[in-house]
Amino acid sequence: MDKRPHPVSVWHYFSRFFFLLAVPVIQAILREPFSKVAWGNLPGLLLVAGLSFFQYDTSGYGIGPRDGGAGEKRPYLRLKSGLFYRRQKILPADCLTSAMIRSTPLLGVFGASQLILDTPAADSRKPSADLYLNRAMLSGWWRRMKRDVHYRYRASQARIFLMAASWSNPASGLVLVGILLDRTGKILGEELSRSLYAAANQSARLVALGLPPAVAFLGWLLAFGWFAAFVTQFFCYGSFSAGKTPRGILIERGILFRSRQYLKDRAVRAVSVRQTLMMRVLRLSSVYLHTIGSGREKDDRSLLLAAVSQEELEFHLNRIYPMDAECLLTGRHERKISPPRAALKSFLLLPVCHLLAVVILFLLCRAFAPFFAPLALFLLVFPLYHTALHIAAWKESFLAVSGKNLVACGYIRDQLFTAVIPRESLQCLVIRQNPFQRASGRCSLRLCIGTERGACFTLRHFSRKEAEALLSP
């Protein structure tokens, strides 16, 4: 018999047009309760709300056995939805790769939690199933799953703080704040949006402290972006813990917005260790699981160990994934290649070009606009950081064969990584050469464990002959 999701699911069926209609109507009713404007848009608002309630009333889910052939009974989850066009989706339980429970303070008020189920199939940008169910029921299921945990790792808040401080990027923080202000302005009106921007501009003036206004504003903007990204990261990964079960791993994380995820072992395609330069100086690193069939693009990356030392990394990883720990920690490989010494010029090409562009900008500002010269000089921080990162990547990069696994070390954006990829998980190998690499006999490698667009590990400036000889069967 089909069951109906939690009533809070009505919120899921509301379109954005409902909120665009609701806010002006509520504002008009509060200001002029008997005006034509206040009640003129009410029928359209009620129509959108009524359609949402009807959609909820026709939705449902069911759990039961299904005939899998030869008398075999396979458990499955059946979802139905649709007001005018009926849709039914059947998900076999043994095809599910991950299950996530999300709890927020708002959902907690109504006694509900969100259940997200994923399989490798379906839309890459949406989960295979998204249900709002009773919070007590989902919490009971999670407690039963935790009984099978035979080893648990729990990260301290201090390590989460260090990891968030290291990973935070001012640009990503500004993007988050910009999106928030833009959506706030669309929903609550442009007046509030303008007041928020005015407050930010006034704060920038207060922190100038005698510096040139352009330099002070840029410094304030970067600091604010970093702080926004740091708060997002810290609240996302706070109170982190991971527990190993015989068939998978349980991950709990989040402050206020709590996420609890179960990943099957067969969904894990690779294990990687990542470092920023700051974490490298502190001799700390974080470990990630790369999975297929969960998250956006169906190739997610889940944190396993947060900002651990080398000794802690060896201790915990040997108890969770011992085979991958041996490849990552021992350094004993059957065959191994690294970028040639001459490849250092290729590694430094982009950072040096970036550095020269900033120097030229500084000289131009000094000659024609001295007021902006300190602002251009401030930008030198970024090419210097990337120069140091690329030098470290040139020293550390390698590709090795270790038993049935490939071990790859390289860099991505502002991080260094070392990944263990089972050969059976390698879905595609892409060898690329630009005109300069063709002349020098070097290439870039993309080791794809999912789609070429998604979960890939890129290694740069390797000898093509050595790479083909290493990867040949």
Report pLDDT digits (tens) over 207-220.
Answer: 444 445 555 566 66
Q: Is the pLDDT of residue 156 over 80?
A: yes
The pLDDT value recorded for residue 465 is 92
Choice between 331 and 252, residue whose per-residue pLDDT is larger? 252
The pLDDT value recorded for residue 187 is 45
Choice between 285 and 376, residue whose per-residue pLDDT is larger? 285
Q: Quick one: tokens of 383?
A: 């090419």
Report how far apart, in Å, the C-alpha atoms of 103 and of each of 156, 326, 384 are.
21, 36, 42
The pLDDT value recorded for residue 204 is 46
- Lowest mean pLDDT segment, chosen from 79-88, 101-110, 231-240: 79-88
User: What average pLDDT does the segment 271-299 reach?
Assistant: 79
Amino acid identity for residue 346 in this structure: S
| E strand or H helix that includes residue 83 | none
In 110-189, alpha helices (H): 135-146, 157-167, 170-188
Amino acid identity for residue 64 in this structure: G
Average pLDDT of every residue of the chain: 79
| E strand or H helix that includes residue 91 | strand 87-92
With a pLDDT cut of 90, the percent of the chain lying above it is 17
Find the angle CA(235)-CA(239)-CA(240) to the nearest 5 degrees: 100
Sheet of 112-118: strand order equals 129-134, 112-118, 98-103, 258-264, 248-253, 241-244, 151-154
Q: Is the pLDDT of residue 367 over 50?
A: yes
The pLDDT value recorded for residue 459 is 92
The pLDDT value recorded for residue 313 is 87
- Lowest mean pLDDT segment, chosen from 28-32, 138-142, 258-262: 28-32
Choice between 208 and 350, residue whose per-residue pLDDT is larger? 350
| Nearest CA-CA partner of 418 in 348, 346, 324, 350 | 324
Q: Is the pLDDT of residue 124 over 90?
A: no
- Lowest mean pLDDT segment, chosen from 57-71, 122-136, 300-314, 349-363: 57-71
User: What average pLDDT does the segment 76-97 reach?
Assistant: 81
| Nearest CA-CA partner of 190 in 17, 18, 23 | 23
Q: Is the pLDDT of residue 314 over 90?
A: no
The pLDDT value recorded for residue 226 is 75
Predicted model pTM: 0.80
Pairing of strands 241-244, 72-81: unpaired
With a pLDDT cut of 70, the percent of the chain lying above it is 75
| Nearest CA-CA partner of 159 in 227, 234, 251, 223 | 234
Report pLDDT digits (tens) over 429-443.
Answer: 889 998 888 988 999
Q: Quick one: tokens of 200?
A: 């930010």
The pLDDT value recorded for residue 172 is 54
Find the angle CA(253)-CA(165)-CA(460) to the nearest 5 degrees: 95
User: What average pLDDT does the segment 439-452 reach?
Assistant: 83
User: For the purposes of burial, counting CB atoms within 10 Å of the CB of 387, is it exposed (0-12), middle (13-18) or buried (19 or more)?
Assistant: middle
- Lowest mean pLDDT segment, chosen from 86-90, 178-182, 330-334, 462-466: 178-182
User: For the purposes of burial, counting CB atoms within 10 Å of the CB of 173, is it exposed (0-12), middle (13-18) or buried (19 or more)?
Assistant: buried
pLDDT band at residue 36, thresholds of 50, 70 and 90? Answer: low
**What is the signed CA dihedral for 16, 22, 28, 30, rounded to 10 degrees?**
-130
User: What average pLDDT does the segment 242-259 reach?
Assistant: 90
Q: Quick one: tokens of 132?
A: 């709002």
Q: Is the pLDDT of residue 200 over 50?
A: no
Q: Is the pLDDT of residue 297 over 60?
A: no
CA atoms of 317 and 82, how far apart (whole Å): 46
Phi, psi of 407 (to 5 degrees): -115, 120
Q: Is the pLDDT of residue 7 over 90?
A: no
Domain residue spans in the chain? 1-92, 157-237, 342-390
